[in-house]
Amino acid sequence: MSENGKEKFGSHFAVIMALAGSAIGLGNIWRFPYIAGEMGGGIFVLVYILCTLFFSIPLFVTEMAIGRSSGKSAANAMYHLSGKKKFWKYAGLVMVLCPLVICSYYSVVGGWAADFLVKACQGAFGNRSSQEVSEMFGVLISSDIRPLAFHLLFMGLTAFVVMGGIQSGIERFSKYTVPVLFLTIVFILVYSLSLPGASQGVRYLLDFDIHNLTPKMISYAMGQSFYSLSLGMGSVITYGSYVRKKENMLQSSCHVAVNDLFFALLAAFVIMPAVFAAGLQPGAGPGLIFQTIPYIFSEMSAHLPIISAVVAVLFFFTILMAALSSAISLMEVGAAYLVETTHWSRRRISLILFLCLGFLGSLCSLSFGPLSQYKIMDMNFFSILDWFSSNILLIAASMLSTVFAGWIMKKKDFYDELSSGGMYSLNAKVAPVIYYTIRYVAPVIIFVVLVSNFI
């Protein structure tokens, strides 16, 4: 289906699935549980929910509005709508660079998930001591060829879907994977909650220790909420440009945010009970899911060998699919921009992106092994990219899009987008609330988060 000669998503369902596919990813399964663990459990979850409702949803609709109104890729959208002001051209380039950087290291984690899926299929978590299983992750990331090969495989799959374009690539992939993601995570949840000692993990997630409410925690909650909803990364703007004019954007944004939030909570309730059941530390950091979950599978394999083997495969399959649909939306930002500016074929652009991002990601992958002695501020290359892109670039880019929507974009255009030209009267009533939040409140809050990330 196309509008003004541009390919669009085929239906309301497709819009939600594509955007949910972008939003639901490693941020939900991998990042959210370990940050919630490090930041003190329940109170973090509460602040996270509030941030999502009051800031991330308005920002999400705003980015969709920028995308749809301009009909352009993220880099050119603001430039185009600002009447071709140079500043917005460069601001747009930040929005392209950031997702591509993230895509490179994201693919490394996707590669780990692929490796663990292969391990699960081989039944590698059964018949081994728990110690051996917990050490598997360290062994994997510190080796050279294997994680590199899986990272390149993951990047190749991502480029393959991006090459397919909007409807035959992205839409078709997300329409099937997102529902499957929900089904599998619910299945694993039941399993995780039935583990002995699981209740401690549940209590941890519901524990409201007010002492954990610090500015740092609030800034992490906000950053995580932006990350999880793919904000500040050009993905929402780019996908917004594939949305038809009659789509109710406010409604679809709320659907996506609720799906994403729900999935993050489900993931946390899968991981934390398992962590406690295994007697491990909730604040174990990025390796949390790869160290704790296989441990659980190995423990369970003694009593329930078949079930534990099947759930292990399902679990890593879920992570892999969630990571893929997000990586696709990251690469698509660059692909859309390059196709638009160079007029080269999608095929050629996807190949170039595969080569460049594959190379950058390879450095990240090797930074746990052969390149591990090279550190900046005590962080390896992988952690530097993660920290810089998620805590600095992403927040800065979110600031740019709020300032743009609140101060540069015409108010009438913004209201028109939100209500699809007056077609949805409820949206027209809510539009001023969103507009003024974006204009006055959001920039101040985002600025505070940005500064606190430097301290």
CA atoms of 270 and 119, how far apart (whole Å) = 20
Residue with tokens 């509005």: 65
DSSP string, 174-235: HHHHHHHHHHHHHHHHHHHHTSTTHHHHHHHHH---GGG--HHHHHHHHHHHHHHTTTTSSH
Residue 2 φ/ψ, nearest 5 degrees: -135, 155
* Residue 65 within binding range of ligand PHE, rule CB under 6 A: no
x-marked contacts with ligand PHE along 74-103 as a string, rule CB under 6 A: -------------------------x----
User: Binders of ligand PHE among 170-229, rule CB under 6 A?
Assistant: 227-228
Q: Are 111 and 357 in contact (CB under 8 A)?
A: no
Q: Are 116 and 294 in contact (CB under 8 A)?
A: yes
76 in helix, strand or coil? helix
Cβ proximity to ligand PHE: between 88 and 226 the closer is 226
* Residue 427 within binding range of ligand PHE, rule CB under 6 A: no
The Cα-based distances of 427 to 194, 243, 248, 254, 350 in angstroms read 43, 17, 8, 12, 37
Cβ proximity to ligand PHE: between 107 and 134 the closer is 107
Q: Enumerate the H helices of 343-369 as residue ranges.
A: 346-366
- For residue 343, the minimal CB distance to ligand PHE (Å) is 25
User: Binders of ligand PHE among 380-419, rule CB under 6 A?
Assistant: none
Structure-token pair, residue 300: 């369970």
User: Binders of ligand PHE among 96-155, rule CB under 6 A?
Assistant: 99
Among 158, 235, 248, 453, binds ligand PHE (CB under 6 A): 235
Q: Enumerate the H helices of 12-85 as residue ranges.
A: 12-23, 26, 32-38, 42-51, 57-70, 74-81
* Residue 161 within binding range of ligand PHE, rule CB under 6 A: no
**Angle at 39 (CA atoms; ends 33, 43), nearest 5 degrees:** 90
- For residue 349, the minimal CB distance to ligand PHE (Å) is 18
x-marked contacts with ligand PHE along 245-284 as a string, rule CB under 6 A: ----------------------------------------
Cβ proximity to ligand PHE: between 25 and 406 the closer is 25
- For residue 102, the minimal CB distance to ligand PHE (Å) is 6
Q: Which amino acid is at 382?
A: F
- For residue 260, the minimal CB distance to ligand PHE (Å) is 7
User: Binders of ligand PHE among 304-333, rule CB under 6 A?
Assistant: 326, 329-330
Query: Residue 234 half-sphere exposure, CB side, CA atoms within 13 Å?
Result: 33
User: Binders of ligand PHE among 18-47, rule CB under 6 A?
Assistant: 22-23, 25-28
- For residue 25, the minimal CB distance to ligand PHE (Å) is 3
Residue of minimal CB distance from ligand PHE?
Answer: 27
* Residue 301 within binding range of ligand PHE, rule CB under 6 A: no
* Residue 233 within binding range of ligand PHE, rule CB under 6 A: yes
Size of the site for ligand PHE (CB under 6 A): 15
Residue with tokens 């294997």: 146
Cβ proximity to ligand PHE: between 91 and 124 the closer is 91
Structure-token pair, residue 160: 């393959």
Cβ proximity to ligand PHE: between 27 and 147 the closer is 27
Give residues in contact with ligand PHE (CB under 6 A).
22-23, 25-28, 99, 227-228, 230, 233, 235, 326, 329-330
